[in-house]
Amino acid sequence: MTADSTRSHTAIMRDLLARIVDGEFAPGTTLPSESKLSQHYGAARGTVRNALAALEGRGLVAPVQGSGWVVRSSRQNQSFAELRSFAQWARSKGMTPGGLVRLAEFGEASQGEARSLRVAPSSRVIRVTRTRSLDGRTVMLERTCYPEWIADKVASIPDDEASVVETLRTHFGVDTAHAEHSIDAIPASSADAELLGIRRSSPLLRVRRVSFTRGGAPIEFGEDRYLPDTVTFQVATSSDSNALNRAEFLR
How far apart, in whole angstroms, are the C-alpha atoms of residue 168 and residue 128? 15
Distances (CA, A) of 6 to 12, 30, 40, 220, 251: 10, 24, 10, 43, 20
Helix (H, G, I), strand (E, B) or coil at 110: coil
CB 123 within 8 A of CB 149: no
Per-residue model confidence (pLDDT) at position 248: 56
Dihedral, CA of residue 152, residue 156, residue 161 and residue 162, to nearest 10: -20
DSSP of 66-87, one letter per residue?
Answer: TTEEEE--SS----HHHHH-HH
Distance (Å, whole) CA 37 – CA 211: 43
Per DSSP, the three-state class of 114 is: helix
Locate the domains of the chain by residue range: 9-71, 80-248
What is the mean pLDDT of each successive set of 10 residues along the chain, which is 251 residues long?
57 85 85 93 92 83 88 64 76 86 97 94 97 94 97 97 94 90 94 96 94 91 91 58 55 37
CATH says 9-71 is which class?
mainly alpha
Do 9-71 and 80-248 have matching folds?
Answer: no
Residues with Cβ < 8 Å from 141, sequence gap 6 or more? 129, 130, 131, 132, 192, 195, 196, 204, 224, 225
- What is the pTM assigned to this prediction? 0.68
Nearest Cα residue to 110 out of 124, 121, 120, 118: 121
**CATH topology for the 80-248 domain:** Chorismate lyase (3.40.1410)
Find the angle CA(81)-CA(97)-CA(209) to the nearest 5 degrees.
45
Q: Closest by alpha carbon to 179, among 131, 238, 249, 116?
A: 116
The per-residue pLDDT for 245 is 62
